[in-house]
Chain A
């Protein structure tokens, strides 16, 4: 479905999403018209969805980031639904993932400082329903975060 040229365009865009079409065309040795048509096609196919701004929470004063790995009590029939529904109401939760594995759910939570974290953890996290086990990983440093695909 995709040829080398499509892949090259997507690779360049992944590396620099704000490139204009003429800039992108030049990097890929294409005319702007040709590059534009390729991009339109990738959009039509639903491969190229768009771009999103990445917020740096530290710049907004959220110095603490914690990854909570949670195992749920699966004997409760609505354990996942109840848990996810209420986790969405915690404003400091920025990502929710569900898994197949030892861990059922992961919450990525930001807090202003350790005092704020303690408050979120005690008042908003531990009160979430059907938690069987909980493990915390605190972010020390983010080494790579581009989330680029190996196209």
Chain B
């Protein structure tokens, strides 16, 4: 596993907030040369620590006013059931994240919609019709914050 130092931690924190910062700007903040910043970023990418980059858009301004977290329990279990469900659920455009979990539910989904009526449409037509779906619990997102985490 990769060993990281305090400078890597500061770099990760900076990139997790804003990945469009230039290497020269990051270098000034971290007191590093531009090539040294590049080398460190490359190393973190190669080790898979920086998995990818995500575009940050204003959801509301694009007309997506509602985000709902769903807990889904499958009615019938078994290997085939999971694969069918996963294939179908990842294809739904409104479903942003799919996590297979252990606990009260089998899957945790994050779903965006234009408004509650649109969400109801997605839930009824797309989610409830998925192969193997049993019970679904919905919680409407009110606020969200991402924390830097243990770095």
Q: Do A and B interact?
A: yes
Answer whether residue B117 sits at the interface, using C-beta atoms and an 8 A cutoff: no
In chain B, what residue has the closest Cβ to A18?
A: B53
Answer whether residue A100 sits at the interface, using C-beta atoms and an 8 A cutoff: yes
Contact A67 B108 (CB under 8 A): yes
In chain A, what residue has the closest Cβ to B105?
A: A137
Distance from B67 Cβ to chain A, minimum over Cβ atoms (Å): 9
Distance from A110 Cβ to chain B, minimum over Cβ atoms (Å): 7
Contact A137 B102 (CB under 8 A): yes
Contact A147 B97 (CB under 8 A): yes
Find B61's partner among A45, A97, A98, A106 (CB 8 Å cutoff): A45
* Interface residues contributed by chain B, number (CB under 8 Å): 61
* Interface residues contributed by chain A, number (CB under 8 Å): 58
- Interface positions of B from 60 to 114, Cβ below 8 Å from A: 61-62, 64, 69, 71, 86, 89-90, 93-105, 108, 110, 112
- Tell me the bound Cα distance from A102 to B69 in angstroms: 11
Find B51's partner among A47, A56, A94 (CB 8 Å cutoff): A56
Contact B141 A17 (CB under 8 A): no
Complex interface: chain B residues within 8 A of A135 (CB): 103-104
Find A46's partner among B4, B51, B58, B101 (CB 8 Å cutoff): B58
Find B62's partner among A47, A69, A146 (CB 8 Å cutoff): A47
- Interface positions of A from 113 to 151, Cβ below 8 Å from B: 135-151
Answer whether residue A51 sits at the interface, using C-beta atoms and an 8 A cutoff: yes
Answer whether residue B17 sits at the interface, using C-beta atoms and an 8 A cutoff: yes
In chain A, what residue has the closest Cβ to B56?
A: A49
Answer whether residue A10 sits at the interface, using C-beta atoms and an 8 A cutoff: yes
Distance from A37 Cβ to chain B, minimum over Cβ atoms (Å): 18
Q: What 1/0 flags go to A88-104 for Cβ under 8 Å of B? A: 10011111111111110
Contact A143 B145 (CB under 8 A): no
Contact A137 B103 (CB under 8 A): yes
Contact A138 B101 (CB under 8 A): yes
Complex interface: chain A residues within 8 A of B140 (CB): 99-101
Distance from B22 Cβ to chain A, minimum over Cβ atoms (Å): 13
Chain B residues with a Cβ under 8 A of chain A: 1-2, 4, 12, 15-20, 47-59, 61-62, 64, 69, 71, 86, 89-90, 93-105, 108, 110, 112, 137-147, 149-151
Chain A residues with a Cβ under 8 A of chain B: 2, 10, 13-14, 17-18, 45-57, 59-62, 67, 69, 88, 91-103, 106, 110, 135-151
For the complex with contacts A139-B100, A147-B110, 6 further pairs of A-B residues with Cβ separation under 8 Å are A91-B149, A96-B145, A97-B143, A98-B142, A149-B64, A151-B62
